[in-house]
Structure 1
Amino acid sequence: MVKMYTLWFFLIEIIIHFSISSSGKVPSIIVFGDSSVDTGNNNFIPTMARSDFKPYGRDFLNGNPTGRFSNGRIPPDFISEAFGLRPIVPAYLDPAYNISDFASGVCFASAGTGFDNATSNVADVIPLWKEVEYYKDYQIKLRAHFGEEKANEILREALYLVSIGTNDFLENYYTLPERRYEFNNVEQYEDFLIILAENFFREIYDLGARKISVTALPPMGCLPLERAINVIDYHGCVEGYNDVALEFNGKLGRLVTKLNNDLFGFQMVDANAYDILLQIVTHPSSFGFEDARVGCCGTGRFEMGFFCDPQSPFTCKDANKYVFWDAFHPSEKTSQIVSNYLIQKYLAKFL
């Protein structure tokens, strides 16, 4: 109990400190990745991987679904607010926003995507290369609106958040046969993804990105969906998947070190969320949660996206008691705790 109160006091102190920050070192938050950071782009493409309906968004600022795979806000929103910017980061494809809105924050992420183009094909979502194309289009509009000098300053000083990789394994490699036929083992597939990751980071560096935070794999064997089908181990975490996550994250961390050494003026941080998420899952009560085995939506074991039926009588009444919102994605409360941790441990250097 003492540890719980100490932790919450610590987190509240972080929130207050960073929320009032007005250093102005970071003028914009620019986001690439998957559903962990997608603020609504999939609403505007023909895909089943979407969440623009209730009960998603029920705890959002206005109580409406936004396309975020959460009951409320997600990490880019909390990080943006902590840097003294807007409390939400708008999706680039959302016609309700324009380049003036996107100047202080923009999200190109797409739920269901990965480093591997084949991963985006699974649910017909935006591949990572297309996210970069949208970023190039954004740059053109930014320069037209603000002029070359101001636009370049925004692009150079912006904090780029990249969160991606889980779908490459759970929705692609372990679900479909093609990549398993092509690569003899998962380690070879990891190395393939690292090559793709390096190409991506070098490309956005060439386009002006200088401050980057990358978050890769969570303890994906502890996601409710994976636990639900892990009958042999009595619905415990799938440790094999967690081992892969640790191995891949280690390789990504070494890539971060390499790129920081290779690229002039590059500041990249390996904002690894694995440990904090595993702590939350294994000791939920220490963080104020009651359940880490299932999500809030429906039965919490298999539902996500359209399977989160707005009429389901099983959906929980208080998502703050749950580590996960659906069978794959964290609740708003979890996202806030993780965001505060990442800010304090990795991102404070950019403030």
Structure 2
Amino acid sequence: MVHFLTIGRLSRSIATTAKSATNKLQRNESILAVQAFGDSFLDTGNNNHIISITKCNFPPYGRDLVGRKPTGRFCNGKVISDLIAGALGVKELLPSYHDKNLQSKDLRTGLCFASGGSGYDPLSSKINRVIPLSDQVEFFREYKVKLKAVVGKERSETIIANSLFLISSGNNDILFSYFATRLRKLQYDVPTYTDLLATWASAFFRDLYKLGARKFAVLNTSPLGCLPFSRTIGGGIKRRCADDYNQAVQLFNAKLSAQLSSLSRELPQSTMVYVDLYSPLLDIILQPEKYG
């Protein structure tokens, strides 16, 4: 089955949305773990160990997090993966797979494999020199072996089957691979490129399904045309939101939701939750007075 959810007012209502998702995703057991994949919306520190400019393990990042230290989260505090793991009662913070302080007990409730700067398009991770989704899948495969060694085969399969697979991607594809570097723009028009993105996304979801994933929560792509970068490049003299960026995002989001609907019918026992970040974020940007 596929469900459509909206995250409103950002972090304050992410917890409520996560609980709503839990009710829809839950079968015989509660969500036992959270496994996060994708980009900087979810990354909790996987870029710390790589050579890349796409890093944030330095101040002022982390100033509002427990310990007030930068951890590699692209935020002053918790990121969405932390908030959802907390809302589900799984754990307060979702550790990164490459965390040097990772303990065996952390494996039982899931890890973050996301890498800020990555995307469904393999070119995005090359441009940003970060961990591609293909490698994130391989790291998850390694994780499964480690989890089995800690809790045994039967329990590890139960944990994976009752994990929430949280995914955020597509942002860097449209922003960097298509508009900023123009590498894909020279090859494809927007409709063709967004078709490709949807195809790559579907292949990624299938890869996770083959490894035991059954419960998916997929964040759509945000209003990239309203980022300061996009406003400067394509927003005109008044630096309004760049319409061409947002139109590309809207087209991809529609195709992403269609792919999820199709996969939910095709893949046995799978549940796909389409999480709308685009609409509430755009509303906050265009009508900030509504939100104080």
- Please give the TM-score of this superposition, normalised by the length of structure 2: 0.89
1:42 aligns to what SS in structure 2? coil
Higher relative contact order, structure no. (Cα contacts within 8 Å, ≥ 6 residues apart): 2
Paired position in structure 1 for 2:5: none
Matching residue within 148, 154, 167 for 1:149: 154
Unaligned runs of 5+ in 2: 1-7
1:87 aligns to what SS in structure 2? coil
Report if the CA contact (8 A) 1:80-1:105 is conserved. no
Paired position in structure 1 for 2:212: 208
Matching residue within 78, 95, 106 for 1:101: 106
Report if the CA contact (8 A) 2:174-2:249 is conserved. no
- Aligned: 1:242 with 2:246: yes
Matching residue within 60, 63, 68 for 1:55: 60
CA 1:251–1:142 in 2, change beyond 3 Å: closer, same or farther? same
Deviation at 1:36, TM superposition (A): 1.1
Report if the CA contact (8 A) 1:92-1:102 is conserved. no
Deviation at 1:182, TM superposition (A): 2.4
- Aligned: 1:173 with 2:178: yes
Task: Tell me the distance in 1 between the aligned counterparts of 2:89 and 2:186.
Answer: 48
Paired position in structure 2 for 1:273: 277
Paired position in structure 2 for 1:217: 221
Report if the CA contact (8 A) 1:90-1:102 is conserved. no
CA 1:233–1:261 in 2, change beyond 3 Å: closer, same or farther? farther
Percent identity over the alignment? 37
- Aligned: 1:198 with 2:190: no
Paired position in structure 1 for 2:79: 74
Task: Tell me the distance in 2 between the aligned counterparts of 1:215 and 1:236.
Answer: 25
Task: Tell me the distance in 2 between the aligned counterparts of 1:158 and 1:231.
Answer: 41
Task: Tell me the distance in 2 between the aligned counterparts of 1:182 and 1:251.
Answer: 20
Report if the CA contact (8 A) 1:44-1:94 is conserved. no
Unaligned runs of 5+ in 1: 1-6, 289-351
CA 1:14–1:41 in 2, change beyond 3 Å: closer, same or farther? closer
Matching residue within 110, 129, 132 for 2:137: 132
The letter for the 2-side match of 1:106 is L
Pair member with larger Rg: 1
CA 1:240–1:264 in 2, change beyond 3 Å: closer, same or farther? same
- Aligned: 1:261 with 2:265: yes
Write the mapping of 1:81-96 to structure 2, written as runs, cut at 5 A: 81-96=86-101
1:58-91 CA-to-partner distances (Å, cap 9, x unmatched) read: 1111111111111111111111111012111000
- Aligned: 1:64 with 2:72: no
1:278 aligns to what SS in structure 2? helix
Paired position in structure 2 for 1:318: none
Paired position in structure 2 for 1:187: 191
2:48 aligns to what SS in structure 1? helix
- Please give the TM-score of this superposition, normalised by the length of structure 1: 0.75
Deviation at 1:231, TM superposition (A): 5.3
Deviation at 1:95, TM superposition (A): 1.2
1:287-339 CA-to-partner distances (Å, cap 9, x unmatched) read: 23xxxxxxxxxxxxxxxxxxxxxxxxxxxxxxxxxxxxxxxxxxxxxxxxxxx
CA 1:250–1:13 in 2, change beyond 3 Å: closer, same or farther? closer
Task: Tell me the distance in 2 between the aligned counterparts of 1:105 and 1:278.
Answer: 31
Deviation at 1:226, TM superposition (A): 1.5
Report if the CA contact (8 A) 2:163-2:215 is conserved. yes
CA 1:33–1:231 in 2, change beyond 3 Å: closer, same or farther? closer
CA 1:58–1:146 in 2, change beyond 3 Å: closer, same or farther? same
The letter for the 2-side match of 1:282 is L
CA RMSD across the alignment: 2.3
Deviation at 1:92, TM superposition (A): 0.2
The count of corresponding residues between Structure 1 and Structure 2 is: 278
Task: Tell me the distance in 2 between the aligned counterparts of 1:168 and 1:14.
Answer: 27
Report if the CA contact (8 A) 2:235-2:241 is conserved. no
Further displaced range: 258-267 or 186-195: 186-195
Task: Tell me the distance in 2 between the aligned counterparts of 1:172 and 1:14.
Answer: 32
